[in-house]
């Protein structure tokens, strides 16, 4: 049964709460300054977020974990979202693909570029601009001689000879000072370094060494790409970040613009999975973005922040951080700039992620079913002829396209004569050979097929690991557990395509099996007479002899056999 307010009894303390499904899967993680007050909003007559009614309907229970402070609730929420990846939470899109710059925690620290930083290390990032992050690491090594991950601390290493390392084997006393300067650069205090590079670029240009000058120019761009690039200016812009958001469906673009020393600097762009609440998406971004960065003195957000965010940011900075949602003045200009850039970046992200017709079909199918994505789909179909040559097949679609390397054929080994038990056997054999679960398993059938395979998944303890649906050909209706039947429109074309492809593939396999096992059957040569229509035909007349003696008028009475097909069957049997 769906969870109700009467079954939830939370304390008046800060903490996090978790909505869970019937099988214990975490659907949503939230934070609150007062848990008892926050949870009531989910059961209000007019909830403030569109996804809430569906979340409550799918949840079997709500659990809570109290924390000493709202700031700790914010961090616990972030960790639980990263751990469980709940369907209804906003989160960074593909956050693991972005690298960090790292200074290790050693007597003589090393600098490295890693997606999995060592525990206890100083880290900066993750960086959305991967190329710029790599160049900054090389720049810091060249400018300050920071050791890399391969340094063995011995005289005569290659890095020393090419000027990339001035580590403890050369200057152990001066090394800590150079590490401190590098850390300041990574903290965004790169003005002195940029001025030095500009001077060197001008010197090389005046000496007509244009190739070397261009090299310095590229290094300056690399530093500015990560630490900021001058765009516009205003006297009020002092240690300030402005966040803008734009969203389309479940994709959002977050743009953060940095401002300091009276100038607005370059932006960073982050793709987000958006769940319909801009405030939550921005809050999720803030908790991720500043966990490894020093926050600014002033943070401009498109929606108000609450529940410990300001206290947590102040703790990260070591002094007070102000969060504002400006309504007038120069700060509104900065906020508007962030929003406009977010709208532009959203279109670029949307076109990039949905560039092909096949991917768009997959994305539209996911939105239609309320799934996070539909990039991996597996569809099953069965074929037999009055118990003869019982076969099944599965086809796989990746990003909306048939992925024929993962097509599979099955010959039914058990004594099952009906489609339901045959499909159960085939799906069970498929389950045992999987290394990863698809986003959707689609069955060619109706509610009885869905019920049969649901029980199978439940017996194996994996019901709920992926979406399960059955697609009935009549009116192209999709059936799912706990959901109303859905008649597909054009947005469901990827599922119809997969079902039709499974039907074609299994019938081709079935036809080959039959042709091997018996002499040529005249019915096999009739154009348009597939396995299921042939099965209906033979059942109607009690076998091939009955079909051979049937009149043209009798053939036309068989369900699914039209006049032209009846004519072709009659002619084939009379030869």
pLDDT digits over 109-124, tens only?
A: 888 877 777 888 887 7
pLDDT of residue 233: 41
Residue 340 has pLDDT above 80, yes or no: yes
Closest CA to 81 of 13, 19, 124, 34: 19
Q: Which two tokens stand for residue 428?
A: 């069970």
pLDDT of residue 515: 63
DSSP string, 367-401: HHHT-S--SEEEEEEEEEETTEEEEEEEEEEETTE
Residue 454 has pLDDT above 60, yes or no: yes
All domains of the chain in start order, with CATH: 5-89 (3.40.1440.10), 96-227 (no CATH), 233-353 (3.30.420.10), 363-508 (3.30.420.340), 519-574 (1.10.150.20)
Q: What would the pLDDT profile of 214-262 be if each residue is shown by its tens digit?
A: 877 876 776 665 454 333 444 455 678 889 999 887 788 898 888 776 5
Q: What would the pLDDT profile of 356-374 be if each residue is shown by its tens digit?
A: 678 888 988 998 998 888 9
Mean pLDDT of 98-109: 81
pLDDT of residue 470: 95
Quick check: helix, strand or coil at residue 514? helix
What mean pLDDT, rounded, does the chain reach?
81
> pLDDT band for position 129 (50/70/90)?
low
Q: Which H or E element spans position 484?
A: strand 483-487
Residue 564 has pLDDT above 50, yes or no: yes
Q: Where are the alpha helices (DSSP H) in 398-446?
A: 419-431
Q: Which H or E element spans position 278?
A: helix 278-289
> pLDDT band for position 529 (50/70/90)?
confident
For the chain, the helix, strand and coil percentages under 3-state DSSP, each to the nearest 5: 45, 20, 35
Residue 95 has pLDDT above 60, yes or no: no
pLDDT of residue 222: 60
Distances 78 to 93, 244, 307 between C-alpha atoms, Å: 14, 21, 13
pLDDT of residue 188: 61
pLDDT of residue 498: 94
Q: CB within 8 A of 284, min separation 6: which ones?
A: 78, 81, 89, 90, 91, 92, 272
Residue 329 has pLDDT above 70, yes or no: yes
pLDDT of residue 305: 82
d(CA 176, CA 268): 30
């Amino acid at each position: 049964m769906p969870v109700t307010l009467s079954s939830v009894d939370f304390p008046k303390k800060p903490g996090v709460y978790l909505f869970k499904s019937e099988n214990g899967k975490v659907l949503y993680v939230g934070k609150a300054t007062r848990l008892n007050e926050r949870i009531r909003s989910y059961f209000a007559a007019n909830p403030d977020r569109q996804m809430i009614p569906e979340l409550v309907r799918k949840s079997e229970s709500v659990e809570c974990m109290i924390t000493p402070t709202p700031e700790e609730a914010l961090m616990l929420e972030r960790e639980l979202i990263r751990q469980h990846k709940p369907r209804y939470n906003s989160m960074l899109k593909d956050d693991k693909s972005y690298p960090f710059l790292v200074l290790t925690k050693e007597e003589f620290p090393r600098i490295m570029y890693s997606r999995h930083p060592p525990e206890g290390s100083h880290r900066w990032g993750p960086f959305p601009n991967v190329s710029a992050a790599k160049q900054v690491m090389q720049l810091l090594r060249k400018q300050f001689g920071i050791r890399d991950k391969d340094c063995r601390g011995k005289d005569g290493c290659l890095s020393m000879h090419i000027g990339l390392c001035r580590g403890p084997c050369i200057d152990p006393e001066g090394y800590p000072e150079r590490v401190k300067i590098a850390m300041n650069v990574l903290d965004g205090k790169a003005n002195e370094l940029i001025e030095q590079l500009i001077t060197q670029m001008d010197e090389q240009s005046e000496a007509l060494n244009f190739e070397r000058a261009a090299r310095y120019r590229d290094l300056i761009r690399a530093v500015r790409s990560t630490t900021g690039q001058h765009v516009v200016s205003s006297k009020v812009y002092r240690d300030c970040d402005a966040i803008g958001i734009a969203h389309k469906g479940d994709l959002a673009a977050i743009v953060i613009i940095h401002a300091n020393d009276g100038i607005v600097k370059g932006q960073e762009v982050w793709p987000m999975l958006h769940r319909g609440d801009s405030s939550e998406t921005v809050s999720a971004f803030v908790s991720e973005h500043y966990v490894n960065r020093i926050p600014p003195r002033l943070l401009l957000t498109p929606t108000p922040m609450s529940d410990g965010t300001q206290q947590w940011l102040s703790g990260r900075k070591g002094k007070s951080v102000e969060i504002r949602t400006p309504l007038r003045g120069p700060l509104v200009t900065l906020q508007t700039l962030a929003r406009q850039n977010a709208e532009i970046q959203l279109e670029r992200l949307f076109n990039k992620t949905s560039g092909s017709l096949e991917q768009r079909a997959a994305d539209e199918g996911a939105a239609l079913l309320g799934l996070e994505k539909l990039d991996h789909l597996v569809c099953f179909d069965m074929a037999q002829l009055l118990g003869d040559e019982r076969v099944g097949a599965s086809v796989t679609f990746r990003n909306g396209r048939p992925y024929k390397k993962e097509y599979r054929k099955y010959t039914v080994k058990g004594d099952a004569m009906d489609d339901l038990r045959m499909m159960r056997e085939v799906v069970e054999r498929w389950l045992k050979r999987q290394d990863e679960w698809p986003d959707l398993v689609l069955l060619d059938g109706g509610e009885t097929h869905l019920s049969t395979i649901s029980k199978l998944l439940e017996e194996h303890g994996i019901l709920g690991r992926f979406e399960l649906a059955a697609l009935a050909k009549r009116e192209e209706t999709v059936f799912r557990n706990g959901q109303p039947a859905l008649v597909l429109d054009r947005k469901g074309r990827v599922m119809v395509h997969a079902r039709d492809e499974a039907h074609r593939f299994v019938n081709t396999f079935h036809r080959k099996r039959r042709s091997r096992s018996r002499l040529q059957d005249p019915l096999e040569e009739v154009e348009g007479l597939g396995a299921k229509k042939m099965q209906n035909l033979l059942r109607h007349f009690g076998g091939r002899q009955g079909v051979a003696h049937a009149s043209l008028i009798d053939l036309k009475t068989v369900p699914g056999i039209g006049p032209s097909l009846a004519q072709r069957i009659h002619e084939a049997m009379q030869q």
